[in-house]
Amino acid sequence: MHKHMPHAPKQVISDLQIFGGRPAFAEKLHVGRPNIGNRQWFADRVNEIFERKWLTNNGPFVDEFEKRIAELTGVKHCIAICNATIALEIAIRALGLKGEVIVPSFTFVATAHALQWQEITPVFCDIDPQTHTIDPNQLETLITPRTTGIIAVNLFGRNCEIARLEEIATRRNLKLLFDSAHAFGCSYQGRMIGGFGDAEVFSFHATKFVNAFEGGAIVTNNDDLAHTARLMQNFGFTTYDQIACVGTNGKMSEVSAAMGLTNMESMDDFIAINRQHHKQYAKELADLSGVTVLSNDEEEKCNYQYVVMEIDASNTLVTRDELMQILHHENVLARRYFYPGCHRMKPYNSSALSLPETEKLSERVLSLPTGTSITPADITAICRIIRLVVSNGREVSEKLRAERP
């Protein structure tokens, strides 16, 4: 029996765990549970590391990982970094950003932190309601004499309006960096993500569909930028005792690169599974009024690593948070990525700032479990719960409110 084998399908709302039923899943189903490639190949690489006794400092696996990423994305330079947050920080510094940088608020907080950590002010921009990525029209209105750059985010592996952003950056003489933490293996207008703007950053964190335990990379076609970023990730060392610039320790370890290489070898399989899962969720929720599964452009390559559902509570009568709470009780750990928007988070909280599209969307989104640890039967069971809750939205919501202490 599969360890996630759900119990008998729930028929009525009193079957929901939150109202006294048994949880649908015996074990917790996570969003972003790691995909793990061929364990033997990984073990062989780890043995090689031990044989070589070369654990870090730009070892052969890091070198190979960088080459594979550059090859896959068609980008001239790749610098592997210990994680994407540090990769963003280094790229920001190597690009010479200062003053103000425009970023979407609807992103993971690391995008903003990477700026604020260096005392650069993130200026939060709203999103376009169609693409859910930075709104180029509003962006232009936020440019001031202090603005030095833009960090756009290819959120959930869905593309920003890249051509427009490149046009604005060129015309307004601004640097353009893409936070493509979610977009490894994706394409835009037939070209792989990685080669746009001045530079792009990928994440290989454990939750990303290709992971290196922790990991990131800066990719760029700019020779000077690549040179500076490579110096900065290794304390600014040019030779063993010469320092060219202020730097940090952003190096990726050999064991991370071994994991990254191993998982890249299974990348096509991971994408095929994610794509199948995405299709299944979309199909099983297709006719459910008030619920939309965000789609991806089928003309482009996509990693399908996020299944994001939007809930219109005026239609479902049950809120996103109520649905999330119910799912959590069923052991389905759906996540409200990215609530509440960086501009409403404590370090950035500006009560004066209103970003209506970000605020609206962050109240509606819910990311659902996918990846190699989820089965089609799990998805059917999850969709049945969502259907049961949404098609009885008013009753569920009233019952929840009545039972709330």
DSSP H or E segment with residue 168: helix 162-171
Residues 209-268 that bind ligand PLP (CB under 6 A): 216
Cα 383 to Cα 369: distance, rounded to the nearest angstrom: 11
Amino acid at site 145: P
By three-state DSSP, how is residue 218 classified?
Answer: strand
Q: Restricting to residues 142-161, name those near ligand PLP by CB under 6 A.
A: 153
Residue 139 binding ligand PLP, by CB under 6 A: no
Q: Determine if 303 is a binding residue for ligand PLP (CB under 6 A).
A: no
**CB nearer to ligand PLP: pick between 316 and 367:** 367
Contact pick of 35, 105, 111, 220 for ligand PLP (by CB under 6 A): 111
**What's the min distance (Å) between Cβ of 218 and ligand PLP?**
12
Write out the two tokens for 10: 């729930």
What's the min distance (Å) between Cβ of 318 and ligand PLP?
Answer: 27
* 20: Cα within 13 Å, side-chain hemisphere: 5
Under the binding rule (CB under 6 A), the answer on residue 134 touching ligand PLP is no
How many CB atoms are located within 10 Å of the residue 174 CB? 19
> CA-CA distance, 248 to 265, in Å (whole number)?
30
Q: Which two tokens stand for residue 402?
A: 């009545």
Peptide bond into 338 cis (omega under 30): yes
Q: Which of residues 328-387 bind ligand PLP (CB under 6 A)?
A: none
- Nearest distance in Å: CB 86, ligand PLP: 7
Binding status of residue 203 toward ligand PLP by CB under 6 A: yes
Binding status of residue 102 toward ligand PLP by CB under 6 A: no
Among 84, 291, 366, 368, interactor with ligand PLP by CB under 6 A: 84
Residues 170-199, mask of contacts with ligand PLP (x by CB under 6 A): ---------x-xx-----------------
* CA 362 to each of CA 157, 201, 228, 308: distance values in angstroms, whole numbers, following the listed order: 17, 24, 37, 12
Q: Residue 342 in contact with residue 105, Cβ under 8 Å?
A: yes
Q: Which stretch binds ligand PLP (CB under 6 A): 16-24, 81-89, 288-296, 297-305?
A: 81-89
Give the H or E element holding residue 81: strand 77-81
Residues within the interface to ligand PLP (CB under 6 A): 83-85, 107-108, 110-111, 153, 179, 181-182, 203, 205, 216
